[in-house]
Structure 1
């Protein structure tokens, strides 16, 4: 099979022909339909992950179809359309795994960094860590949902966003756009914070009732004037300062959620 392989830090991807892997017990073989490109793939190539395993096939925003299953796998069956994501597997028995927070498992493995991912025609995954895709869902459009989609939806869920919540999204990149769409689908009220008016039309098209341009006004003041403040501020911008600037715009008992941040330390206004 054809595959793009990361052979080491600060080296370009190498196109290679690899053997099609065969599923062991508890595994499924997936013929890859699509694999999104995440910025963390670039971080892998730049050598930012000291735990990375080279050579490795990158890619963790994966959709495809199960073509073979290993011993003991009863689901998903051959022919099932599935998605695979950043979390390749976990130990299954630590406190985090038992309570359903496998991403916090100290022995987790990451797809495309320590286990081969989706930059290939076929990929092996643990049967319990792939997700069946609904009928009618475009597998190409669905691939980024396995990373940016999970990140934004789970962030909103963990922050307690519900119908009627006032949710402010900072930054309309991939994660921010999906967060805005999820918030509206949940029945939440939406505000968007951007650096300039350039993104206002996009925000309004997504359903935002308020757009805040930080080059014109203080985001905390603007959000505080939004019926008392945001219940959730979801920072999707790659800037810690952008998140900190919104703190004063939270409603009482509100939540500031950082899904994006920069290299600078988090300093909150007092």
Structure 2
């Protein structure tokens, strides 16, 4: 089969064998995959990754010896794989494998394997191009599972990248007054068209003035991917409020810890979420992700697709197998 291989910051298109199944696993034929910022960071050397990347995907179950009822089903997958003896949250299992990220080859290939227990069947009402957003949408929805959000809260999302937009749309389900702040009018319009209040700034420095003008918020989600984003989020949150750190930066982050202590601000890390909840959200039409798609490439155009995804400000790039 054909696959993409990351090694030493290089990208190779290789021919390799189909994955061999172990007990409880299924062989998946990939239909479509999305290029994520995490994939870009892996290419730069994040985690010291070497292997087949790709963790946002939709696939057809081709082989499933232990659960043949899954054969032919269109599926997405929870990417976190814990040892079968682990009884806690697989997202935080010590030594866990993560599809396309850590110790488990991913979806930038014609085939991959995954535990049947990680699979979620996609209903016919959900388009494949929407279902491929299940993993990032689950991450966006995770904020609402960590924080009790009420309709009267003042909620802000900083950053109009793909995850920032998805997070604002996800929070909009629970709170009608979510404010999304970013620097790109065209991206903000994707959220605005679905009822999210938006504010476009010309520079990051304008955030300090904006904090004074708009006052403090009960909940601020940092989704800028910038090393300075968390510090700005702390400027916006009220005393005893909550900041959710949704993105990471490979550069060190400096914050005013005195302000966090004196104002008794809670900082909550937020990562992967519930794939089932994300699919249900798509099935019920609560969020339209189509505006986030910028381009779709064929698999043999992967290098061009990846270059496109690396362009600053690009939206979601999909690769069809």
TM-score of the superposed pair, with normalisation by structure 2: 0.70
Contact 2:222 2:233 in 1 (8 A): no
For 2:106 and 2:185, locate their aligned partners in 1 and report how far apart those are by CA, in whole Å.
38
For 2:233 and 2:200, locate their aligned partners in 1 and report how far apart those are by CA, in whole Å.
11
Aligned equivalent of 1:221: 212
205-214 vs 29-38, greater mean Cα deviation: 205-214
Aligned equivalent of 1:10: 9
**What are the within-5 Å matches in structure 2 for residues 73-222 of structure 1?**
73=67, 77-87=70-80, 89-94=81-86, 97-98=87-88, 101-113=89-101, 114-146=103-135, 148-195=136-183, 201-209=189-197, 211=199, 213=201, 215=206, 218-222=209-213
- For structure 2, the 5+ residue unaligned runs are 260-321
- For structure 1, the 5+ residue unaligned runs are none
For 2:244 and 2:183, locate their aligned partners in 1 and report how far apart those are by CA, in whole Å.
18
Which of 1 and 2 has higher RCO (CA within 8 Å, sep 6+)? 2
1 or 2, which has the higher helix percentage? 2
Distance of aligned partners of 1:115 and 1:188 in 2 relative to their CA distance in 1, 3 Å threshold: same
Aligned equivalent of 2:24: 26
Distance of aligned partners of 1:3 and 1:261 in 2 relative to their CA distance in 1, 3 Å threshold: closer
- Per-residue CA deviation, residues 208-253 of structure 1 (Å, 9 max, x unaligned), is 33526352763433442xxxx4232111101242232232432454
* Partner-residue secondary structure (3-state), 1:193: strand
Contact 2:165 2:188 in 1 (8 A): no
* Partner-residue secondary structure (3-state), 2:132: helix
Shift of residue 149, structure 1, vs aligned partner: 1.3
Matched, 1:265 2:253: yes
Distance of aligned partners of 1:242 and 1:44 in 2 relative to their CA distance in 1, 3 Å threshold: closer
Contact 1:168 1:233 in 2 (8 A): yes
Contact 2:234 2:243 in 1 (8 A): yes
Shift of residue 182, structure 1, vs aligned partner: 1.1
Shift of residue 158, structure 1, vs aligned partner: 1.0
- Per-residue CA deviation, residues 153-206 of structure 1 (Å, 9 max, x unaligned), is 112321223444432110111101111111122344211122476765455334
* Partner-residue secondary structure (3-state), 1:79: coil
Distance of aligned partners of 1:257 and 1:138 in 2 relative to their CA distance in 1, 3 Å threshold: same
Contact 1:166 1:188 in 2 (8 A): no
Contact 2:33 2:108 in 1 (8 A): yes
Shift of residue 112, structure 1, vs aligned partner: 1.3
Distance of aligned partners of 1:188 and 1:31 in 2 relative to their CA distance in 1, 3 Å threshold: same
The count of residues paired between Structure 1 and Structure 2 equals: 253
